[in-house]
Structure formats: structure tokens, C-alpha cells
Structure 1
Amino acid sequence: MLELNFGQILEEHSEHLLRIAYYYTKNLHAAEDIVQDVFIKYSKSNYKEQGQLRAYLTKITINKSKDYLKSWAYRKIQLQEHLPIIPFLQKDRVIQKELQSTIGETILSLSLKYREVIILYYYEELNTTEIASLLQIPESTVRTRHRRALEKLRPVLSKEWEELYGQ
């Protein structure tokens, strides 16, 4: 298997890791820090490529995002007034595009347990078995969370469909 250098790995995986971290934290700066920490951890590890690098980096990103949500820094931010995040996103089109859509906003409004299943299923294109393994929960729990998340998204999705196609 062809070995990728660190720059290629960074370029290939940073966008989707940033999206995952952002969907967990709802904070661009925290997401950027998390992705940076993920790549630092990867560069210090002695990981041997076996075709699982994306899954490996995704798992580290999810764990670091969850650690952030448990941290004092996150709790402190929650206590302060929420500043509008749109001005901070002007230079990051990936996240800005997600926020502009009603669906993206609705996904961000879901609780973490539903949001992470939606992200992993639709954005990371993982199947139920892979999500269960990644999150270390039973497959039935993944299916239940997926179904419940879609139930919460359905009113928004049907409204979007009506606006797009005038039905």
C-alpha cells in the first residue's frame, strides 16, 4: 500500500474531521483545536496504515469532541452569553454552507446522541454496524437513535421539500 505523507493525510482528512468536531461542539474554534489535537496525536503515534486511517482519525475526533463537552472550558462558555457565530465563520466556507441550510441548523439543534448518529450515517456514510462499533453501543440503539432523529428532522425536511419543489 502506498504510504501517504503527513501533508497529504492532513489535506485529505481535515475537512471531514472539522465537520465532525463542529457538529459535536457547535463551536468553530473548539473544532479547529480538536482537529489540530487529533493530527498532533496521530503524528506522535506509531499508527500503521491498514486501510482504516479515516475510521481511526474519526474515532479520535469523536473522543476528543466528547472530552471537550465534558471540560470546564465548555461549561464556562455555556455560562456566558452566546455570541453570534456567523462573523467568525466568514473564512470557513465548509461550516458556513452547513449553517446556511435549514437542515444543518436543525441537525445542530438535535441532542448529541441523535446528532452523532446522523453525522456518522449521512456525512461519514457509515452503516449501522460501523456506527455501533465506533460509538461502542448496540446496533439496536443506533437504529433507534437514527429513527428518532429522523422523526425530529421530518417536519423540517418536508418543509424544505415543499420550498424546493412547491408541493
Structure 2
Amino acid sequence: MKDIDWSPWLIRMSQGDEEAFRTVYEATRNHAYGLIYYLSPRKQDAGDIMSEVYIELLRSADKYRPEQPFTAWFNGLIVRQVRNWKRKGWRLFRIEEKLRGSKAESLDLESEARLSAVGDRMELLPLLRTLPYKAKEIVVLRYYQDCSLEEIAGILNIPLGTVKSRHHHALKQLRRRYEEKHGGKERNGYVY
């Protein structure tokens, strides 16, 4: 990948010019794929990560400064997207581990185990999008940001009882949506 003056192309790209995007994509795709392939934790994720890289390139094209080499800037963007991808996978793993480890302290073990099964199959995100905003924020803060229920109460400036209630109802809604999607089938020893 040559370090030419990419500024005009990136400016046009940030203004929605599809031709400029195609030009930048064609000039950088082999470089991007190679770097992603070597950095990604699972090689089969390289294509998905590449999509994330180009989405982020579209979002941040206007942040490129011509005084910096484009290749270095673009490599930084790629590395950040690979890290983000790894974090997403790690979060799902942590959800599963947290739910397994919290069995003794959980009052609603059945719901959390079902949530774990959902997370195991990478189906949490589409189901999460169907939740009402207040339920979604509780689940995201609890399982993606690793906040305690007490911390969530402080962040949202609501009583702890309200957080517990929303958490319980969010898990219940996720379970119901999962059951609707999978027709009550048995998964990981649990009947849904």
C-alpha cells in the first residue's frame, strides 16, 4: 500500500462519495485483510472484522490529518477494530463465566443460565436490541461493562430495588424472546 496523499479521497468519502470509498477500499483491502488475518484471534472472523474496519474508516475519515502517514493511521484503525472484536468475544465469555460463578448468589439462577445459553450462541446481541431501552441499559451495564447492581443504581441515579426489578424483568424478557425464537427446545440441559 503506497503512502500517497489520501486526504482528497478521505474528504470525499466523509461527504458520502461512493466512488471515493471504492477507490480507497480497492487500494487498501489486501493490506487490511492481511493485517486483520494475522491479528484476529479466530481466522474465520477476519471478514467480519474487515467490515468493521471499513465502517469505522467511513466514520473517522474526517479525523485523518495529512501530516501523518496514512498507512500508520490506517494500521492504528485496524488494530483498534481487532481489539474491539476481541473484547466483544471476551465479554460474551465473561458473561458465561460470571453466570456460572454466580450460581450461589443468584436468586434467579434459571433465568441467568438461560441468558448464558443465549450468550454462548452469540444470539444475545440481536435479542438485546429487542428490549426496551431501560431494560437494555441494565443488561449492557451489568454484563458488558461488568458493573454491580449497586454501581448501576449509582450510574442511573435510581434505587437499587428498581435496578434489581429491571434486571429480573430484562432477563425474563430475554428468556421469553429466546423461547419464541427456538420454540422451547432443550439447550445445554435446560428446557426452554
Q: Fold match, TM over 0.5?
A: no
User: Which of the five TM-score ranges fits, normalised by the shorter chain?
Assistant: 0.3 to 0.5
Query: Using CA pairs below 8 Å that are at least 6 residues apart, which structure has the higher relative contact order?
Result: 1
- Give the TM-score, by structure 2 length: 0.34
- Give the TM-score, by structure 1 length: 0.38
Q: Which has the larger radius of gyration?
A: 2
